[in-house]
Structure 1
Amino acid sequence: MSGSRPSVSSGAAVWTLFLLFLTNIVNVGDRSLLGVVTEQVRTDLVLSDTQMSLANGLFFTLFNLVGGLFLSRMIDRGNRKRILACGIAAWSIATAATGLAHDFFTLALARIAVGIGEATAFPAAMSLIPDLFRQEARGKAVAVFQSSAFIGIVGGTIAAGLLAASLGWRAMFLWAGGAGVVLALIVLVSASEPPRGSDNVRAALPGRLEDLIAGLRRFWDANGLVRLTLGYGVAGMLTSVLAAWGPSFLQRSHDVPLAQVGIVIGPAVGLGGITGTLFAGFLADHLVRRSGKAISALSIPAVALPFALPCVLGFAFFDSLTLAMSSAALMNFLLSCAIIPSINYAVSSAEPGDRGLTATVMLASSGLIGGALGPFVVGWLSDRLTPTLGDEGLRFGIAAMAAAPLIAAAFVVAARASAMRVQGTASVEV
Structure 2
Amino acid sequence: MAEPFRQAGEDGLRPDRCRVRQGAGRPDRRSGDHRVNAAPKPVSTGAACWTLFVLFLTNVFNVGDRTLLGVVTEPVRIELSLSDTEISLANGFLFVLFNLVGGLFIARFIDLGNRKRVLALGLAGWSLATAATGLAQDFATLSIARIGVGLGEATAFPAAMSMIPDLFRQETRGRAVAVFQSSGMIGVVGGTIAAGVLAAALGWRSMFLVCGAAGIALAATLLLTVREPPRGDAAGSAPIGQRRYLADLHAACERALGMPGFVPLALTLGVAGIIGAVLGAWAPAYLQRSYGVPLAEVGLLIAPAVGLGGIAGTLVSGALADWLVRRRGRPVDMLRVPLVSLPLAVPFTAGFALAPTVALAMVSAGAMNFCLTCAVPPCINFAVNEADPRDRGVTATIMLAVTGVIGGGLGPFMVGALSDMLAPRLGAESLRYAIAATIFTPMLATTFLFLAMRRASAGPLPMAAA
TM range (shorter): over 0.9
d(CA) in 2 for partners of 1:47, 1:159:
23
The structural deviation recorded for 1:310 is: 0.8
Highest Rg: 1 or 2? 2
Q: Tell me whether 1:401 sits opposite 2:438 in the alignment.
A: yes
Consecutive unaligned residues in structure 2, runs of 5 or more: 1-17, 20-38
Q: What letter matches 1:22 in structure 2?
A: L
Counterpart mapping for 1:338-377 below 5 A: 338-377=375-414
Indicate if the aligned counterparts of 1:154 and 1:266 stay in contact, CA closer than 8 A.
yes
Give secondary structure in 2 for the equivalent of 1:401.
coil
Counterpart mapping for 1:154-303 below 5 A: 154-199=189-234, 206-303=243-340
Give secondary structure in 2 for the equivalent of 1:415.
helix
| Aligned alpha-carbon RMSD (Å) | 1.8
The structural deviation recorded for 1:192 is: 2.1
The normalised TM-score by structure 2 is 0.89
Which residue is 1:153 aligned to? 188
The structural deviation recorded for 1:320 is: 1.7
d(CA) in 2 for partners of 1:100, 1:64:
21
Paired residues in the alignment total 428
Q: What letter matches 1:29 in structure 2?
A: G
Which residue is 1:47 aligned to? 82
Indicate if the aligned counterparts of 2:62 and 2:187 stay in contact, CA closer than 8 A.
yes
The normalised TM-score by structure 1 is 0.96
Indicate if the aligned counterparts of 1:294 and 1:429 stay in contact, CA closer than 8 A.
no
Provide, for residues 350-408 of structure 1, a one-character-per-residue CA deviation record: whole Å limited to 9, x for no partner. Answer: 11100000011111111111111110111011000010000100000000001110011
Consecutive unaligned residues in structure 1, runs of 5 or more: none
Aligned mate of 2:46, from 3, 8, 11? 11
Indicate if the aligned counterparts of 1:294 and 1:427 stay in contact, CA closer than 8 A.
no
The structural deviation recorded for 1:6 is: 6.9
Q: Tell me whether 1:311 sits opposite 2:348 in the alignment.
A: yes
Give secondary structure in 1 for the equivalent of 2:440.
helix
d(CA) in 1 for partners of 2:86, 2:440:
25
The structural deviation recorded for 1:427 is: 9.4
d(CA) in 1 for partners of 2:178, 2:314:
6
Q: Tell me whether 1:415 sits opposite 2:452 in the alignment.
A: yes
Structure with the higher fraction of residues in helix conformation: 1
d(CA) in 2 for partners of 1:395, 1:194:
47
d(CA) in 1 for partners of 2:148, 2:47:
31
Provide, for residues 118-148 of structure 1, a one-character-per-residue CA deviation record: whole Å limited to 9, x for no partner. Answer: 0000000000000001110000000101101
Provide, for residues 294-346 of structure 1, a one-character-per-residue CA deviation record: whole Å limited to 9, x for no partner. Answer: 11001111111011111111011111211110000000000001100000000
The structural deviation recorded for 1:199 is: 3.0
Indicate if the aligned counterparts of 2:40 and 2:234 stay in contact, CA closer than 8 A.
no
Aligned mate of 1:337, from 374, 377, 383? 374
Aligned mate of 1:135, from 167, 170, 182? 170
The structural deviation recorded for 1:210 is: 1.5
The structural deviation recorded for 1:291 is: 1.4
Q: Tell me whether 1:93 sits opposite 2:128 in the alignment.
A: yes
Which residue is 1:121 aligned to? 156
d(CA) in 2 for partners of 1:114, 1:427:
35
Indicate if the aligned counterparts of 1:347 and 1:359 stay in contact, CA closer than 8 A.
yes
Q: Which portions of structure 1, spanning 4 or more consecutive aligned residues, are displaced by more than 2 angstroms?
A: 199-207, 426-430
- Per mean C-alpha deviation after superposition, the further-off stretch among 110-119 and 360-369 is 360-369
Q: What letter matches 2:391 in structure 1?
A: D
